[in-house]
Amino acid sequence: MTDTITEIPVAPTAPEAPSPAAPPAPTAPAAPVFDVPLENAGIAHGLYRDGENISDTKAPPGDIQSKWTTRQFEAALVNPANRRKLTVIVVGTGLAGGSACATLGEAGYNVKAFCYQDSPRRAHSIAAQGGINAAKNYKEDGDSTYRLFYDTVKGGDFRSRESNVFRLASVSTNIIDQCVAQGVPFAREYGGLLDNRSFGGVQVSRTFYARGQTGQQLLIGAYQALERQIAAGTVEMNTRHEMLELVVVDGRARGVIVRDMVSGKVETHLADAVVLASGGYGNVFYLSTNAMGCNVTATWRAHRQGAYFGNPCYTQIHPTCIPVSGDHQSKLTLMSESLRNDGRIWVPKNREDCGKDPRDIAEEDRDYYLERIYPAFGNLVPRDIASRQAKNVCDDGRGVGPAIGDFRRGVYLDFTDALQRMSAEAVAEKYGNLLDMYQRITGENPYEVPMRIYPAVHYTMGGLWVDYDLQSNIPGLFVTGEANFSDHGANRLGASALMQGLADGYFVLPNTIRDYLSHGPYPKVEETDASVVAARTSVQARITKLLSINGERTVDSFHKELGHIMWEYCGMERSETGLLKAVDLIRGLKDEFWRNVKVLGSAEDLNQSLEKAGRVADFLELGELMCIDALHRRESCGGHFRVESQTDDGEALRNDDEFAYVAAWEWGGEEGMPVLHKEDLVYEYVHLKQRSYK
Amino acid sequence: MRCVATSTLPPSIQARRTTIAMKLVMAVSGSLFVLFVIAHMYGNLKMFGGQAAYDDYAHHLRTLGEPIAPYSGVLWIIRVVLLGSVLAHIYSAFYLWSRAQGARTTKYRMKKAAAATISARFMRWGGVALLLFLIWHILQFTTRTINVNGSHDSPYDNYVAAFQPSVWWVFVIYALAMVALAMHIRHGVWSATQTLGWTGNVRARRRANTLAITLAAVVSIGFILPAVFVLFGVIK
Amino acid sequence: MKITLKVWRQSGPKDSGGLATYELDDITEDMSFLEVLDVLNEGLITSGEEPVAFDSDCREGICGMCGLMINGSAHGPEVTTTCQLHMRSFSDGETITVEPWRADAFPVLKDLVVDRSAFDRIIQAGGFISVNTGAAPDAHAVPVPKENADKAFASAACIGCGACVAACPNASGMLFMGAKVTHLGLLPQGQPERDARVVKMVNQHDHEGFGGCTNIGECAAACPKEIPMDVISQLNKDLRTAMQHGR
């Protein structure tokens, strides 16, 4: 989900060099202190091994501005008559998948689409609130494709690929045109033209929005375009179908094994190419702002078939979510970050005040910690900083609200000052629906009692590794949207997820996939082919296994425990000891899962426990890889904060000399260890610099 | 069960084959009836003007349009139009009723109404009741097949005779029918404006509801008032 | 809190189904209604009984996947989605009846899960603007009066949950359809296909077996997005106009 305030990527006044306030200045080889100084802990503990370096070979050479037009020209064309002989499978029908299905269908390819929901309109893209960025420069305020590109690379903390980001910025304008033509009701000004918002630290207005429901409106637009193609017969839509395996034949992705979630039937679908648009994996944390059904299975199965997983540890944690209220909690709800524009964040100075009614705590006993630590940005510091500081004060025992586990997890977001300054009506006008939502969920009136917030997992920047064509290292397997790793580096800017999903689906993939398809149709694959049979058999065996264990613990109890481990050790703050511990814990949990899980019912009908069990099994494996990735990356960047790599005053410290690369992980086999492939990141246009918000 | 969304467009796509078209039939035919009952009620109020006024009015209905139209000609045209309307109204009502029955064959074990007015809920059975009443009313006053308390040449005398306290149950039938009519008009008028697409905003909806309630009250009270006066001997 | 749940259990589309009664203790006011069902399911699995199947996804009131008839009201006693309904709306010791949406156009698949693909087919029939990717003019080429844009947005807020159908005594889908017809009909981009759209969609709606509208208003009262009956009026008007244009 996106929300209404763009994270401030870099202070407009950010110094080029690390802040002078941060001695010992990390000149060239940064000097974080590690217990295992010479060898990476992951290697030392035999958790992974190094492999060959990789690189993107598809982005054409030349000036960054012309790369995309060159690539569009060089990508071979497919004769319209041949398109209907080519079949493309698309898994996931959110913004990235739905828009790709519609566009490929319009072009005349045979598209087979799959989604686990009962309709493509339910995909979790729908929950994005704030907006979508586009370098339209309708406000004539100095915005440009180049500036959006620049902001995105910097916002990603220099861990994304320049060529991809530039393309994203340049097609962003087409997205708005397309959506308006589809009837997406963007907010407009009285003159009838589109309105833009300026968010947080970004000094240009480039965010298009439809009240707090931008994701919904964009998804419905893509959904309608998709339904139009379904009616036209170019797209075959399979709802309530879950992809359980990728079929790779002769080294190429040629199909998927899916389960019809209503009849339980395991089906084989074969095609010339497979597109995964199956979203992110934030649910590995159990509690996140993701939808209940969001899962990693599609991409994880592809990973096990050989696709590299890029930067799995990059997770975005959003600071303004409604806190957990108890053990039964199933899901976290995001509130727009715009609340930080007028709300003040604080906790009590004294631990003994934490249980008190906040209105009874005197002003001098309150610690407005963000304003104290970051006087320049105050409550508007970027997401990762706001999140981490909230964790720090709660870890310090000064959190508020009900104790969850061993301590209170929440901080106050107080509108008292705003209410005095602006009047209740003005506050309601600006934030009414958010405050109402808070009241509905918590039962507390935010006009009287300060709200409580706590960070929650929100978005995963990592995903399957892809090249400039959005093709993974398995030929014929394309990955779009949140499912790939490509455009956000180590941290995603607000209002950029929607942009990437639609850019990939409408404009990028349809152009790049045709280069692959132009070499087709590929040799016909029979359902009796050994690789197909093997894939289907393994799916059936897994289902049978899950149903036959008949242990003592429910799937959810395993998922909760995994989430707890991930949150504690691979959440906002990661340390070597914690991550090593997490790997051990996850391995133990995985072992227990396959011995002791209890899944009732049959494989032949709608069985939600079985669906969940398969997803949790994959989350367990992913969780381990995330920890290993976090362990090996001994630097702090974007959403990844390693306690060992921080400045003296506790800020994230990147280590560009050692870690300016994409970590693309190869599946090492059931008993083997993952293999790390590095794709070096070269910055020709945006110069590396350290963030500072003091 | 279709889980895979496939294109299953109906064979013939025409606006006039839809349930909304059926609703339009209902709205238009119902509106004609509303106009009719208003006129009818106005005529009945002539009971307050005395025997001459009322009988003149009744006679005039038959000579309306003369000499261009023949005796009772206009009246028969009106009767034919009304008969057509009532048939169309009943047909569309039963069509939609049976569709609704088929649209939910498994009923809820528990179902609460959140917005339905009593009038709306009583619409279908109320309509049946009004139909039965209509037949009774025609048999009693138009064809005079049913003769309560003597038959007279003067329509005024017929009216007065019908609502004498000695045959109080006739009054009860009419009073109940007027309640049913009020409710039918209350929901029907609102529903017709909505079906005709005239209630596209809050204000228009409020106006339509006010109009519906007003018409319901005016027509039903206007009808029953002379009967009440007869019952209590004020009109003799 | 202590509550008694009477939940509709139905093993499959062909099963006749019935209400099963479960008692739950340790329910807190902060729990959402679906979390209570989660708790129920955890208990059922532990005791070896198959859990209750029900749909939910985003659990923040926007995807439209959840939807239950709770104590005879679609999405329960508040104007919200089932996932945003919290237990503080109920009292201690209360008996709560939970049923699936009931409409023949929404067949029950299992327990509380129904098949709403009829809605998708209504959209397929015409609930879109035909514009291929890349064929769009600049977004500022056609100004849209703010009033129309705002109204279109309000209609487009529909989440397709099906509460309107569930609440309607006729099991009619007119509010859902009216919302889409109004949304697209208010925008200049939606004009070329306006007549064809409404006729095709209403035909599909009737073909799916939904009932006709009798303007009772239960749909608008149940709608978690508070879409008013105005959109049905607009739908009727558009169909009438299409008839006048000879469709």
Using one digit for the tens of pLDDT, what is the confidence trace for A339-351?
A: 888 899 999 999 9
**Which of C 161-190 lie inside 8 A of B, CB atoms?**
167, 169-172, 174
Closest chain B residue to A235 measured between Cα atoms? B6
User: Are C47 and C157 in a shared domain?
Assistant: no
Per CB-CB distance under 8 Å, the chain C contacts of B22 are 212
Q: Say whether B4 and A238 touch across the interface (CB within 8 A).
A: yes
Cα–Cα distance for residue pair A487/A507, rounded to 1 Å: 15
Final residue belonging to a domain, choices C55, C84, C109? C109
CA distance B103 to chain A (A): 21
pLDDT at A36: 44
For residue B65, the tally of other CB atoms under 10 A from its CB is 14
Q: Say whether A334 and C60 touch across the interface (CB within 8 A).
A: yes
First to last CA, chain C: 58
Structure tokens at A435: 């405050």
- Residue A234 forms contact with B (CB below 8 Å): no
User: Are C130 and C226 in a shared domain?
Assistant: yes
| A20: confidence class by pLDDT, cuts 50, 70, 90 | very low
**Which of A 596-625 lie inside 8 A of C, CB atoms?**
598, 600-601, 605-609
Per CB-CB distance under 8 Å, the chain A contacts of B5 are 119, 227, 230, 237, 239
User: Are C165 and C210 in a shared domain?
Assistant: yes
Closest chain A residue to B7 measured between Cα atoms? A231
Q: Say whether B3 and A262 touch across the interface (CB within 8 A).
A: yes
Per-residue pLDDT tens digits for A154-205: 889 999 999 999 999 999 999 999 999 999 999 999 999 999 987 655 778 8
Q: Say whether B103 and C73 touch across the interface (CB within 8 A).
A: no
Instruction: Average the pLDDT over B60-87 and give the result.
Output: 92
- Residue C9 forms contact with B (CB below 8 Å): no
- Which of A188, A556, A598 faces C146 most closely, judged by CB atoms? A188
From the candidates A116, A239, A258, which should be mutated to test the interface with B, based on the most B CB atoms within 10 A?
A239
Per-residue pLDDT tens digits for C182-214: 999 999 999 999 999 999 999 999 999 999 999
Per-residue pLDDT tens digits for C101-126: 999 999 999 999 999 999 999 999 99
User: Are C121 and C239 in a shared domain?
Assistant: yes
User: Are C104 and C154 in a shared domain?
Assistant: no
Final residue belonging to a domain, choices C55, C79, C109? C109
CA distance C25 to chain A (A): 13
CB C177 within 8 A of CB C219: no
Instruction: Average the pLDDT over A73-98 and give the result.
Output: 96
Per-residue pLDDT tens digits for A288-306: 999 999 999 999 999 999 9
Q: Say whether A330 and C32 touch across the interface (CB within 8 A).
A: yes
Segments forming the whole domain that contains residue C151: 116-244
**Which of C 47-66 lie inside 8 A of B, CB atoms?**
none
Pairing of strands A463-464, A451-460: unpaired
- Which of B17, B100, B204 faces C212 most closely, judged by CB atoms? B100
Per CB-CB distance under 8 Å, the chain C contacts of B8 are 121, 204, 207
The domains located in chain B, with CATH, are: 17-104+117-231 (1.20.1300)
Of A420, A295, A408, nearest to A351 by C-alpha is A408
Q: Say whether B3 and A260 touch across the interface (CB within 8 A).
A: yes
Instruction: Average the pLDDT over A375-388 and give the result.
Output: 85
- Residue A122 forms contact with C (CB below 8 Å): yes
CB A466 within 8 A of CB A485: yes
B103-B107-B108 Cα angle (round to 5): 125
Low-confidence ranges of chain C (pLDDT < 70): none
The domains located in chain A, with CATH, are: 318-458 (3.90.700.10), 531-680 (1.20.58.100)
- What CATH number is attached to the domain comprising C131? 1.10.1060.10
pLDDT at B2: 40
Per-residue pLDDT tens digits for B117-134: 999 999 999 999 999 999
User: Are C60 and C95 in a shared domain?
Assistant: yes
User: Are C11 and C30 in a shared domain?
Assistant: yes
Q: Say whether C64 and A122 touch across the interface (CB within 8 A).
A: yes
User: Are C94 and C138 in a shared domain?
Assistant: no
CA distance B96 to chain A (A): 28
Give me the phi and psi of A111, to 5 degrees please: -115, 135
User: Are C127 and C237 in a shared domain?
Assistant: yes
Cα–Cα distance for residue pair C121/B12, rounded to 1 Å: 16
**Which of A 222-281 lie inside 8 A of C, CB atoms?**
223-225, 227-228, 230-231, 237, 239, 262
The count of domains in chain C is 2
Cα–Cα distance for residue pair A24/A315, rounded to 1 Å: 28
For chain A, what is the mean pLDDT? 91
Residues of A assigned a catalytic role: 383
Cα–Cα distance for residue pair A246/A93, rounded to 1 Å: 17
User: Are C124 and C100 in a shared domain?
Assistant: no
User: b/e map of B14-33 (b: 16 or more CB within 10 Å)?
Assistant: ebebbbbbbbbbbbbbbbbb
pLDDT at B153: 85
Cα–Cα distance for residue pair A70/A162, rounded to 1 Å: 16
User: Are C102 and C139 in a shared domain?
Assistant: no
Q: Say whether C236 and B195 touch across the interface (CB within 8 A).
A: yes
Q: Say whether C190 and A183 touch across the interface (CB within 8 A).
A: yes
User: Are C104 and C126 in a shared domain?
Assistant: no
Q: Where are the beta strands (DSSP E) in chain C?
A: 3-9, 18-24, 69-70, 73-74, 95-99, 108-110, 113-114
- What CATH number is attached to the domain comprising C96? 3.10.20.30
Q: Say whether A236 and B4 touch across the interface (CB within 8 A).
A: yes
pLDDT higher than 90, residue B225: yes
- Which of B14, B100, B187 faces C171 most closely, judged by CB atoms? B100
- Which of A121, A192, A289 faces C146 most closely, judged by CB atoms? A192
Of A21, A9, B212, nearest to C215 by C-alpha is B212
